[in-house]
Structure 1
């Protein structure tokens, strides 16, 4: 990715506000400088602590590996073993693809954090930024539609079979991808490679000088990426929880724990960054004009960002590996893979013995001819 979520969203080049720009994760010795016209004063915003240039690349590299393996495994099992027959499988597959799109931007973030500048060109700047936001929006929306699907299956079980078809799942997925691509279109337009303070950056260049588009981007994430999904999740899982309380099945408490897990993980991962982005919008509008508050807000943006990146690694565990049927397919996949490796190993050993035997016979024959 081209920085990180806060770098992508709230580091514009507004003429009357942002005087200096440096990627937060790239250079701990650099500083941001904001000018507050009302106070007629400059505010140097100190960067993340000294450990940042080492901490962020290591963290994002780890998240890349875990997210890549987890989501790729989900896609492999769904396509090869489970065959994507049900509507839940359709949503799981699309959620894994969304998270992979999100994860694939992390190597660019690692490079951006280490070298302190963008080296992949203007085209890749636009592609990676828009791909990142497409993955972000689609992942959140697929979590939302999966919550609605569970609500229909448990609370509206009588009428649900008519709606919960594979065809409806495919159509819903196409609509979600269209919404996600449309929502990330401004990022493709505004993000560009720029030379700033003798460093090459991949940052948004907004056409207005009053932070209108910048605030719109923040509010778009707040509304589409958190407020609407959070409201739907609360309604759906509250209804599901009430319905489960009436049940007397053996798996009742296990299902209730899963409900809590889904809601808690979503809010823990995404609430801090959305609050921080909302506060950043208030700063852009000069409602927050205190230097010390701005310094704390910058730090809060960075730390909240860490939680948001973790979510793409947790989705495979929450939505796939917890289910008993899916776990059986995973075990089946690993058994087949282990059997394949064993066959390859035995074949290699067998070929090795054959080669040795052949070599011995040739050696014996050659020696007999030399005598």
Structure 2
């Protein structure tokens, strides 16, 4: 890898890969004249610039990334389609968690379906602008939908476990979940569209505002949801752990499984989405502090494409969580195979809303990812 990077650095041109990161206004204006007037047009041509300036990196990524993208495409489509088949047929078990999980599966499926555009982009040498448009727009929309739906599921678990008997529990209705889901899709589409189609003129400084826009987008659509996932996961874990000693053995086993599942969700959230957004923040502060244009070296190019691939990997990891860890999914799958007939005495996940021995309230809990 070191020899590859050395060869790339020596053979690359002097032009920067990401001209939009230049600190000088004249450079930004020149970039606008050469590449277009919208952020979407800029992001689309980054792949062409990669092909022109770092051809060795392009070949390296094309061979390895296309194999990985093909695997993610097959796995993501199969698992998310299976999840939609099971959950959409679970009308008898409809709940807020099911609504969020269905929308999460749709977002993950769309991420997987956008991968052919990325594969075609590699093979076209960056010249397929339409492929880049499709992948760039769908990537950001579906990534932030996945983030917000994971956050919604985590908050729903918090309300179901910690506030099972309080007035806050009324927010766990199917109608409320549908309104939240529609709002999530609306925010993700509008924010991504407004950012990527924003037009600039060469006589204004707005053409150099791409980095601040990406930074604020990172704060609003990643950092705040991440904090919410961490806080509510810790609250649920503390609540279940504090009630652990007085519970029956079966309930303790199920609560231990719930804690492990929430921890798994947090790990998937962190591994898939954190690298991309950490890179965004570092790029922003490097530009603000030093005024230097980042992303000019081969390592920066590789970091960008690796973090994008990790974000897309979430479309394969989410189905694994709720397909093979969640008991309710297994029960729904068996119900669908029997034509919708419920097994006698079979229940989902059990939660205790008060201390063991005082009051036990059994609820079906669909713990998604």
Structure 2: state its 5+ residue gaps: 1-17, 36-41, 245-251, 340-369
Cα gap change, 1:11/1:276 in structure 2, threshold over 3 Å: closer, same or farther? farther
1:103 deviates by: 2.0
Q: Does 1:130 align with 2:130?
A: no
Matched, 1:164 2:175: no
Structure-2 residue corresponding to 1:222: 218
Give the distance between the partners of 1:262 and 1:132, measured in 2 at CA. Answer: 20
Matched, 1:261 2:264: yes
> Is contact 2:80-2:105 (8 Å) kept?
yes
Q: Which runs of 5+ in 1 are unaligned?
A: 1-9, 33-45, 191-204, 337-371
The alignment of Structure 1 onto Structure 2 pairs a total of residues equal to 298
Q: In the alignment, which residue of structure 2 is the partner of 1:99?
A: 108
Query: 1-side partners of 2:182 and 2:47: how far apart?
Result: 35
Give CA deviations for 1:257-292 in whole Å, capped at 9, x if unaligned: 112211112111111111111222234447263889
Deviation at 1:69, TM superposition (A): 1.1
Equivalence for 1:302:
305
CA distance in 2 between counterparts of 1:29 and 1:174 reads 38
**How far, CA to CA, are the matches of 1:79 and 1:291 in structure 2?**
45
* Secondary structure of 1:251's aligned partner: helix
Aligned-residue offset at 1:30: 3.7
**2:331 corresponds to:** 328
Higher strand share: 1
Classify the secondary structure of the residue corresponding to 1:16.
helix
For residue 120 of structure 1, report the CA deviation from its aligned partner: 6.4
Indicate how the Cα distance of structure 1 residues 84 and 71 shifts in structure 2: closer, same or farther if over 3 A, else same.
farther
Q: Give the Cα–Cα distance (whole angstroms) in 2 for the partners of residues 99 and 297 of structure 1.
A: 27
In the superposition, relative to structure 1, how do residues 119 and 162 fare at CA in structure 2: closer, same or farther (>3 Å)? Answer: same
What is the TM-score normalised by the length of structure 1?
A: 0.70
- Pairwise CA distance, 1:250: 2.5
Give yes or no for contact 1:82–1:329 (8 Å, CA) kept in 2. Answer: no
Per the TM alignment, residue 230 of structure 1 is displaced from its structure 2 partner at its CA by 0.8
Residue 192 (structure 2) aligns with: 184
Per-residue deviation at 1:93? 0.6
Could you tell me whether the CA contact under 8 Å between 1:28 and 1:53 is conserved in 2? no
Q: Alignment RMSD, CA only?
A: 3.2
Retained in 2: the 8 A contact 1:28–1:50? no
Q: CA deviation at 1:238?
A: 0.8
RCO higher in 1 or 2 (8 Å CA, sep ≥ 6)?
A: 2
- Distance in 2 between residues matched to 1:11 and 1:85, nearest whole Å: 50
